[in-house]
């Protein structure tokens, strides 16, 4: 059973509040969402008819800096989803100690049924509707589910045309030619790799010996699967929205990426040696490391007891419900939480923002060096607190992140 994502995000804050000394007024303050803009997006479709789409932009907290968070295009987008995702972004930027807050946006649509021109018109009108609450010092969007660097380029152009000057710092995840950063597209998956590598070192495991299952084959799932495959790991199963593939001998990830990049689904992949499986079957496949890298609410009270892995490395945002989290903990399955594991994307987004505002761009070597330093510093903090207090890494991560935001609220005070 799926849990309302915003209720889930709120429950996580309440859980961590039991472990820290936090003023009740500050707790109430950080649980609320600062603002949400809901917009109407009227578009003339290619066939000449008018269709009206619904869009959102939520800003959970800006007490530590400008809002930061992606924009997704999906038929599943809802008000509670973007509020929850904005909340998780606050904890993610805080855990990495970046001077940013948390935001998220989305448009209720199915890009698979839209032409490129229709998607561009939706993007430009959506940008115009939220233009007064985004900007380099206000709220900086980025790609998310079903959005990409091209769409970020359209947002940057629309914003710049309305402001009368180029403003590359309004979004991150743009094409490199118009102010994007090298390493941004693969950043979330690269960060996952750094965290898993460090975790294996802590557990005295050889990363190359781990058998891996990955849910999701987009930027995040595809990147981490590719990096692990190149490292010599056996990737037993992987899936996209159409379903998954499994082989006890391991999949050839490079061939599957070539197939995906032709615009084809895994369900269509012609290989008699690979078994076709559902996403549900994939989650309960026996492995060492399960990486849910698709969307939220995948590991629930209904399937958590059936997981057959040692480690869950959360590549998606909110893939595990609080009830499922408890089951996994009771079953001695180690969960590395989303706000740590998949924070590479927002980290390199921050680097892109810095590069845009200074008009000086970094090499890929510097990007990955800085990413590794920041994400492993956060990992060490989480691991230390988790071991000292004998608590889960999720609770440890939230203790760090929530404490930082709470301290910022305390120092700033309540206006007026």
Domain boundary assignment for the chain: 31-167, 187-341
| CA–CA–CA angle 314, 55, 178 (5° rounding) | 75
For the cut 90, the answer to whether the pLDDT of residue 3 exceeds it is no
CATH architecture classification, 31-167: 3-Layer(aba) Sandwich (3.40)
pLDDT at residue 366 greater than cutoff 60: yes
β-pairing, 67-74 vs 102-108, is parallel
Query: Residues of the chain with pLDDT > 90: what percent?
Result: 80
**Per-residue confidence (pLDDT) for residue 219, from 0 to 100:** 83
Whether residue 392 is predicted with pLDDT greater than 60 in this model: the reply is yes
58, 43 contact by CB (below 8 A): no
Using pLDDT thresholds of 50, 70 and 90, give the confidence band for residue 73: very high
DSSP letter string, 184-217 = STTHHHHHHHHHHHHHHHHTT--GGG-EEEEE--
- Which are the catalytic amino acids? 104
What class has domain 187-341?
A: alpha beta
Using the predicted structure, report yes or no on whether residue 136 has a pLDDT greater than 90: yes
The set of residues, in sequence order, having a beta carbon less than 8 Å from that of 49 and lying 6+ positions away, is: none
Residue 192 has pLDDT above 70, yes or no: yes
Q: Rg (Cα) of the chain, in Å, rounded? A: 21
| CA atoms of 308 and 259, how far apart (whole Å) | 29
pLDDT tens for each residue of 138-155: 999 999 889 999 999 999
Average pLDDT, the chain: 93
Q: Is 388 exposed, middle or buried (0-12, 13-18, 19+ CB in 10 A)?
A: exposed
Residue range 242-263: mean pLDDT, rounded: 88
How much is the pLDDT for 67?
97
The pLDDT value given to residue 318: 83
pLDDT for 295 equals 78
The pLDDT of residue 409: 97
Distances (CA, A) of 252 to 187, 257, 282, 287, 384: 22, 9, 17, 17, 36
pLDDT band at 2 (very low <50, low <70, confident <90, very high): low
Q: pLDDT tens digit string along 274-290?
A: 888 888 899 999 999 99
What's the average model confidence in pLDDT over 216-226? 90
* Separation of first and last alpha carbons in the chain: 42
Q: Is the pLDDT of residue 49 over 70?
A: yes
Give the residues across from 50 on adjacent strands: 44
User: Given this chain, do its domains 31-167 and 187-341 carry the same CATH topology?
Assistant: yes
The Cβ-side half-sphere exposure at 90, using a 13 Å CA radius, reads 28
DSSP state of 233: -
Q: What is the rounded average pLDDT of the residues 128-138?
A: 97
Query: What b/e readout covers 199-215, taking b as 16+ CB neighbours within 10 angstroms?
Result: bbeeeebebeebbbbbb
The pLDDT of 309-322, averaged and rounded, is: 91
Report pLDDT for 332: 94
pLDDT value, residue 273? 84
Q: Which of 38-47, 210-219, 221-230, 278-287 has the highest mean pLDDT?
A: 38-47
Would you state the pLDDT for residue 1?
47
Dump pLDDT digits (tens) for 81-102: 999 999 999 999 999 999 999 9
Among left, alpha and beta (phi > 0; psi -120 to 50; other), residue 50 is beta
């Amino acid at each position: 059973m799926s849990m309302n994502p915003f209720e889930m995000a709120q429950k996580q804050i309440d859980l961590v509040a039991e472990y820290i000394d936090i003023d009740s007024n500050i707790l109430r303050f950080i649980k609320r969402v600062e603002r949400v803009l809901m917009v109407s997006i009227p578009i003339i479709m290619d066939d000449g008819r008018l269709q009206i789409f619904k869009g959102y932009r939520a800003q959970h907290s800006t007490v530590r800096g400008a809002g930061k968070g992606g924009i997704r295009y999906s038929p599943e987008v809802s008000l509670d989803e973007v509020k929850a995702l904005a909340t998780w972004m606050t904890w993610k930027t805080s855990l990495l100690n970046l001077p940013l807050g948390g935001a998220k946006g989305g448009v209720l649509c199915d890009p698979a049924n839209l032409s490129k021109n229709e998607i561009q018109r939706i993007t430009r009108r959506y940008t115009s509707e939220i233009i007064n609450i985004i900007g380099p010092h206000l709220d900086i969007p980025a790609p998310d589910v079903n959005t990409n660097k091209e769409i970020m380029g359209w947002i940057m152009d629309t914003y710049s045309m309305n402001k009368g000057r180029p403003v590359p710092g309004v979004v991150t995840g743009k094409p490199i030619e118009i102010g994007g950063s090298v390493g941004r597209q693969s950043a979330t998956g690269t960060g996952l790799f750094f965290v898993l590598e460090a975790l294996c070192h802590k557990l005295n495991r050889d990363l190359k010996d781990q058998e891996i299952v990955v849910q999701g084959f987009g930027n995040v799932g595809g990147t981490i699967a590719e990096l692990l495959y190149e490292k010599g790991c056996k990737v037993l199963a992987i899936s996209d929205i159409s379903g998954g593939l499994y082989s006890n001998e391991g999949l050839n990830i490079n061939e599957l990426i070539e197939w995906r990049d032709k615009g084809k689904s895994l369900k269509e992949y012609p290989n008699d040696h690979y078994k076709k499986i559902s996403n549900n079957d994939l989650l309960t496949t026996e492995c060492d490391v399960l990486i849910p890298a698709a969307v939220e609410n995948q590991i629930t009270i209904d399937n958590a007891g059936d997981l057959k892995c040692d480690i869950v490395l959360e590549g998606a945002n909110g893939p595990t419900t609080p009830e499922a989290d408890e089951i996994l903990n009771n079953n001695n399955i180690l969960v590395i939480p989303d706000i740590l594991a998949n924070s590479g994307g927002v980290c390199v987004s921050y680097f892109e923002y810095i590069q845009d505002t200074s008009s000086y761009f970094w090499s890929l070597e510097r990007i990955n060096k800085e990413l590794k330093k920041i994400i492993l510093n956060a990992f060490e903090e989480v691991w230390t607190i988790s071991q000292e207090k004998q608590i889960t890494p999720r609770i440890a991560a939230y203790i760090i992140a929530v404490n930082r935001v709470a301290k910022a609220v305390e120092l700033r005070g309540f206006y007026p």
